């Protein structure tokens, strides 16, 4: 039995198509609201239907332009709170600033924690997200947070390729080994790890050492996001130099900044598979790029949160 009254889903401007696909899964209409900027660059939000004591879900990945979409999310939360929503869940398929999760240099911020504080202060009662860059970001929140995994969807996509033997799953660094292990378990494959070195703050990466055997194998690079493409290109080059046969790249979040698509098109990567956690405009859709929808898992998680049943059971096969 639902803990709150009717379920309502609203969207900012970051990725309305994903919000509509989630609503199609839930078999409900997307909630009506206005989210726009005045001529003075101030963001305005108005919810156009009654949400008093409703279970409200606000879908807003923190997509480019990042800071505009953070402000939209915060103002949407505030608007819902002041409209007496029963519960407000921020659905953030892509959590920006996640790489700033620790002080790894002198006198730098922990911006991932700052964004968490802003979301809480605005009035969110809980958060639903997908494939955080680092799991410890969950601890930056003092409200319930559910982190979903895109790995089952990505593994199913590769299984459809019917490549059954000589597979190795590759982590782009030691910190991503757990994500690679989850993929490898679903594909019944070993893992390898490429040690990378990030050069200062210039978004340049050098792959240094390979741990594991990739010779004559089909290699599947697994990462949480594709930014400039530097990490996966360096990883792919290392794999090719060590005798890997075909190289695929699977990543949850297609940031695809700058000339990433062009660079990936020219690389040795055979196929890039991403989810629709972020919008992929036609200009960024290369011939090697495939998109897997996460609307069903987000929709299922929203339904489970609304009805008070287990979200974790979606991934471990349990019932409640």
Catalytic residue positions, numbered? 196
What's the Cα-to-Cα distance from 189 to each of 245, 264, 282, rounded to whole Å? Answer: 15, 25, 34
Residue whose C-alpha is closest to residue 218's, from 193, 179, 190, 254: 190
Task: Please spell the DSSP secondary structure of 75-122, one letter per residue.
Answer: HHHHHHHHTTBSEEEEEESS-TTTT--S--STT---HHHHHHHHHHHH
Contact partners, residue 74, CB within 8 Å, separation at least 6:
118, 119, 122
Distances (CA, A) of 214 to 40, 169, 175, 191, 238: 55, 9, 19, 9, 10
Q: Enumerate residues 6+ apart whose C-beta is below 8 A from 236.
A: 221, 247, 249, 267, 268, 269
**DSSP letter at 52?**
B
Characterize the bridge pairing of strands 204-211 and 145-148. Answer: unpaired
Residue 287: other Cβ atoms inside 10 A: 8
Name residues whose C-beta falls within 8 Å of residue 314's C-beta, 6 or more positions apart in sequence: 148, 297, 300, 301, 304
């Amino acid at each position: 039995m639902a803990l709150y009254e009717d379920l309502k889903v609203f969207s900012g401007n970051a990725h309305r198509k994903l919000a509509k696909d989630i609503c199609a899964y839930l078999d409900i209409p997307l909630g009506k609201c206005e989210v726009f900027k005045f001529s003075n660059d101030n963001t305005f939000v108005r919810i156009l239907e009654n949400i008093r004591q409703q279970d409200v879900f606000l879908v807003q990945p923190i997509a480019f332009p990042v800071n505009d979409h953070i402000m939209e999310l915060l103002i949407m939360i505030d608007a819902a709170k002041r409209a007496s929503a029963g519960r407000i869940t921020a659905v953030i398929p892509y959590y920006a600033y996640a790489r700033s999760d620790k002080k790894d240099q002198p006198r730098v911020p922990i911006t991932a924690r700052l964004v968490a504080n802003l979301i809480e202060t605005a009035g969110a009662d809980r958060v639903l997200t997908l494939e955080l860059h680092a799991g410890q970001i969950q601890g930056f929140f003092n409200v319930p947070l559910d982190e979903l995994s895109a790995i089952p969807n990505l593994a199913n996509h590769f299984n459809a390729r019917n490549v059954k033997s000589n597979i190795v799953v590759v982590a782009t660094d030691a910190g991503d080994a757990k994500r690679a292990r989850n993929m490898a378990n679903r594909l019944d494959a070993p893992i390898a790890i490429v040690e990378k070195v990030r050069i200062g703050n210039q978004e340049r990466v050098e792959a240094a050492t390979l741990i594991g055997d990739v010779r004559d194998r089909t290699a599947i690079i697994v990462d949480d996001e594709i930014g400039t493409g530097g990490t996966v290109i360096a990883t792919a080059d290392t794999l090719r130099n060590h005798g890997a046969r075909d190289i695929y790249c699977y990543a949850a979040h297609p940031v695809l900044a700058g000339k990433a698509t062009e660079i990936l098109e020219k690389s040795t990567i055979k196929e890039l598979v991403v989810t629709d956690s972020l919008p992929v405009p036609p200009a960024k859709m290369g011939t090697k790029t495939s998109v897997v929808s996460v609307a069903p898992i987000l929709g299922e998680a929203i339904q489970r949160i609304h009805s008070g049943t287990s979200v974790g059971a979606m991934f471990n096969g349990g019932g409640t």
